[in-house]
Amino acid sequence: MKRLPVLNGLRGIAIIAVVFHHSFSVFFNAAGSVTLTPSTVLGSSGWLGVNLFFFLSGFVLYLPYATGQRSFNGLRSLFGFYGHRARRLLPLYYTASLFLLLFTTHYQLDDSSLYRALVQYALATFIFSRETFFPSINWVLWSLGVELWFSLLFPAVVIAIDRFGWRKILVIVMIAALAVRFAGQIVVPTNPRRVLNFISDSLFGRLDEFILGMLGAWVFSRRLMLWRPTVQFLCGVSLLVSSAVLWSLWYRGTFVEPLAAFFNIPFDAGLLLTVNALLVGCKPAARLVSIWPLQMSGLMCYSIYLWHAPIISHFRASAYSIFTYAAYVGITYLIAWISYRYIEFGSVSDYRELLPKPADGGDDQTPLQDRHPRSITNS
């Protein structure tokens, strides 16, 4: 499938939000501020970029299957999918994990814990334990572990949708994921409140975000819209803001802890409406999301995500001024570019192939925005 500039830009927004949350906003404890203002809501909501990553992952993985370009019709197609995902995700994941494990920990070569950790990271099984869900070498690896296990489950989900239909699978997954998140908030309460725990944010607790992303790809492949693009976009953004406000109030103790299990739902519904509106219509907003810096950040988001946390953990004490924070961002992007260029896509001979294409630069960039959308009620 050809790259879509809007999706690149959305990944850029997601990674910028996550980096901001893990670095700058944490210093000012926006989540712990007593006063609820637009700035404190924004400052405590950057972590929701991970939700956007999960949604986009489901969208991108399923799009070629939604359009009929690919299907799981035998072992060859299954192994082909797994091979592609392994080549895309594992080289950088293994490189970063091995480097951090060997050079940022106190393990010795005669320590059996080192080899247990190597197996844990090799198989991404750390997400199944409360003690290791946030890996000590790089706490953000929890979401990559969830992503890797979703990749293993993805063919089964696609086959189930083909066999039983969207309605049944969607209802089952939404109810099951909500139940898992609800259980997680009861079993693993935290003080002070933390939005993540190893049950609520496990693969099955987050599976509805991947599924809704897949549904977004299915809807998009048929050029369906619920309302006019601008109306749908505004409704989607309103749901995103509402979810962020709910989470901010939850941080401050306004709601009992288990209610947090429901707060992903308006956010993910908002993503479904917003992403669809950006892709099928609402061109001014789509052009804004597709600007070069956002697209470039989106293309590099995997490398940025894996390296930004260890870097800020090392320099946290010095990153309190504008100058030092700018230096942190610059170092992160420099290392991420090297990683993106030589680890993620080392086989690409011309680096220009790794840069964003102009959003109005031809059929490979905007073919889907120029087609007339159909109302979902008329399909």
Burial class (CB in 10 A: 0-12, 13-18, 19+), 302: buried
pLDDT of residue 318: 59
pLDDT of residue 357: 80
- Helix (H) / strand (E) containing 136: none
Please tell me whether residue 5 adopts helix, strand or coil conformation: helix
Rounded Cα distance between 141 and 195, Å, is: 16
The mean pLDDT values, 10 residues at a time, for the chain of 379 residues are 85 96 65 68 88 98 96 96 97 97 91 94 96 94 98 98 96 98 88 81 97 97 90 96 93 88 96 96 93 97 96 74 85 97 95 82 37 41
Cross-strand bridge partners of residue 224: 374
Domain interval for residue 17: 5-378
Query: Is the Cα dihedral 309, 310, 311, 314 positive or negative?
Result: positive
pLDDT in tens, 49-61: 999 999 999 999 9
pLDDT in tens, 88-106: 999 999 999 999 999 999 8
Structure tokens at 13: 């927004």
pLDDT of residue 367: 38
pLDDT of residue 373: 45
Of 311, 307, 340, 338, nearest to 324 by C-alpha is: 311
Q: What is the DSSP letter of 1?
A: -
Rounded Cα distance between 276 and 377, Å, is: 15
- Tokens 């999706």 — which residue? 7
292-299 helix and 301-315 helix, angle to the nearest 10 degrees: 80
Helices (H), strands (E): how many in the chain? Answer: 15, 2
- Tokens 């970063």 — which residue? 96
Query: Per the omega criterion (within 30 degrees of 0), is the bond before 155 cis?
Result: no
- Tokens 């594992």 — which residue? 90
Q: Structurally, how many domains does the chain consist of?
A: 1
Amino acid at 119: V
